[in-house]
Amino acid sequence: MASNGLRRFEAIRERHIAATRAYVDEAVDRLGWSRERVVRWQTECLRALVARAVAGSAYYRERLGGVDVAKLDARDLSSLPILTKGDVMANWDQIVTDSRLRIDEVTQHLEDLHQGRKDNAYYLDEYLIAATGGTSGTRGVFVWDWQMALVNPAGHYRWEAQADRENPPSGPRRTAVICASSFVHASRFVFPVMVDPERESRVFPAGMPIPEMVEALNEYQPDRIVGFASIVEELAEYAIEGALRVAPNRVSTNSEPFDEHGRKLVRDAWGLETHGTWGSVEIGVAAVEGPSFGGLSLAEDLAIFEVVDEYDQPVDEPADANRVLVTRLYGSTMPLIRYEMTDTLILDEGPNPDAIGCRRVVRIEGRADVWFVYGDTKIHPMVFRDILGQRHEISEYQVQQTKTGARVLAILHGELDLREVEASLESSLRNAGLSYPEVAVESATALPRHPETNKLKRFVPL
């Protein structure tokens, strides 16, 4: 029998899904907006966002209190300061606009969810909370309010909804969603939400051993697959070999880069092009690949994207791009204004047939998770992330593969039983198919970084 917490969660979740489905038509219609209309919309939303942030956030009141909101323009945000993940974590309680939210309490909420002590993933029956290590390896905790939690699934699936308008699907509608197993990770919030009320979805945890996943997919027979890029690539290989016997009509990837090798495998396996996705826990779904497959269309109706060089100046040449600053135009409970992402976007400024008012991303640099391969067993990074990324005592970490498991370097804040973390990781590795794993977790004061780029590689294979 379901607990009171689980029943409450399911009731709120149903309302959220219904709200997403009600919003998706608007999200699809925006794909036809002109560039001029998109920029006008961005400016209107920006002014409203900054006004709400100044009114409700002590942090933004101090930083932006003197800004003339009426003069803000989405085409030039250079007068506004940049926000980093470090800024967010150092000023968390002052940034959020709901005074009931406190970093220590939401962190405990995440811990309770992760340890199974709580069934209701909605904090205060209203917010979803997610933690991330991100590309940089620095832990961040972010609030998804009601608006953000409905906009993101609609933003992801609107190209699919548009295609279904033009060519309604026939036969069983089943989407296999390969994502995190727990609602402590944002992928579990977004990708299982189907905007088509007749479409069923089933979650296949990313940490599931691939042979078991193949068997389960053969039983489920999905007509669509949505999942982490590296796992979709693995499944395509199994399909080519004949072990995976499914016939999807649409494949979408997320959370990791998907290179031409992976795309070729999907083409060879199922005769399909792959719809890629880019986003993060902080900003949500930010770009999706449309039907032309000429790049990922930026969701510029949902955020303002500034590609800048190392001096935070707009770039004229792709080679000068260093990182991207994102101003999220929705989800104002935790305003993110000119938030620094370490990913580097290479943009195509030409016409975009998939969303005429939005630019396209032709390449993303800076994010590259890898599998750990032990003989015939492959372990996805989510097996480690699900544990290390949810321990609030760990602010940064690096996982180095060893012959029998892994060595983990962790920068700690507060007391942490490293043996308990080792045991949890070893248990997860066994569940993922690795026999007799050995894990060593060590406290560190700094993590090794690339000597030239200074970037942190969080997962280091043998």
Q: How confident is the model over 209-253, as pLDDT tens digits?
A: 888 999 999 999 999 999 988 789 889 989 999 999 999 999 999
**Alpha-carbon distance 285 to 155, whole Å?**
7
pLDDT on residue 368:
45
pLDDT on residue 32:
96
pLDDT on residue 105:
96
Q: How long a stretch of residues is the chain?
A: 462
pLDDT on residue 291:
94
- Segments in the chain below pLDDT 50: 368, 452-455
pLDDT on residue 362:
87
- Going from the C-alpha of 25 to that of each of 63, 152, 157, the distances in angstroms are 37, 14, 11
**Alpha-carbon distance 238 to 378, whole Å?**
13
Q: Which residue reads 């990837």 in tokens?
A: 253
The answer to whether 23 and 161 have CB atoms below 8 angstroms apart is: no
Q: Residue 165: is it exposed, middle or buried by C-beta count within 10 angstroms (0-12/13-18/19+)?
A: exposed
The answer to whether 89 and 336 have CB atoms below 8 angstroms apart is: no
The tokens for 330 are 């929705």
The answer to whether 224 and 174 have CB atoms below 8 angstroms apart is: yes
**pTM of the shown model:** 0.83
pLDDT on residue 311:
84
pLDDT on residue 366:
57
**Alpha-carbon distance 212 to 101, whole Å?**
40
